[in-house]
Amino acid sequence: MTQVHTDMIADQATAQQVEPAPRVIPPLPTERTQAMNALIRATQNLINVAEREAQALALNDLLTFNLLQDEKASMADRYETYSKQFRKRLNEFRGMDRGLLNRLEKLQQTLGEKTATNTKVVEKIHGRAQQKAHHSLLAAQELAQTKHVSYQAKDGAKKNGTQ
């Protein structure tokens, strides 16, 4: 009875979950220095998430890596929105302080490098997982061909694995 009650509560909680509201990203400020600083912050925030992802991957902490994905999506949405707005206003930024432009360029290069590195690590992990799954499947098939397997069903009846 307790298990049924617990399952009902879990089902109700699942039914009450609602899709999160879409994230509203404010536009880049109209003043170009403020806009440049906003894009720099968005880029740096995304780099910070990529660094935390890299640390989680290095520790083989896939739970933390997975938990970072929502945060990364939010940061990436902001970065993408700001980048598009920046490109549309590119002529406004041509006479900007060269130091800010260089800083943004370096941050974007760093972001690209960190993202590429993390992607390679994830691809390696995925490849190893596929290999392990394939080898496990082959071992199970081989075992099933060489061993007679029987098991007992929930109703207590003995079943023969060859049926």
Task: Enumerate the domain spans of the chain.
Answer: 25-121
Contacts of 68 (CB under 8 A, 6+ apart): 49, 52, 53, 56
How far apart, in Å, do the first and last CA atoms of the chain sit?
35
What integer is the mean pLDDT of 123-148? 82
Reported pTM: 0.69
Residues 67 and 111: beta-carbon distance below 8 Å: no
Residues 150 and 159: beta-carbon distance below 8 Å: yes
Residues 158 and 152: beta-carbon distance below 8 Å: yes
Res 5 pLDDT > 50: no
pLDDT tens digits for 31-69? 999 999 999 999 999 999 999 999 999 999 999 999 999
For residue 40, the SS3 value is: helix
In 3-state terms the chain splits into helix, strand, coil percentages (rounded to 5) of: 75, 5, 20
Q: How confident is the model at residue 160 (pLDDT cuts 50, 70, 90)?
A: low
The tokens of 83 are what? 């980048």
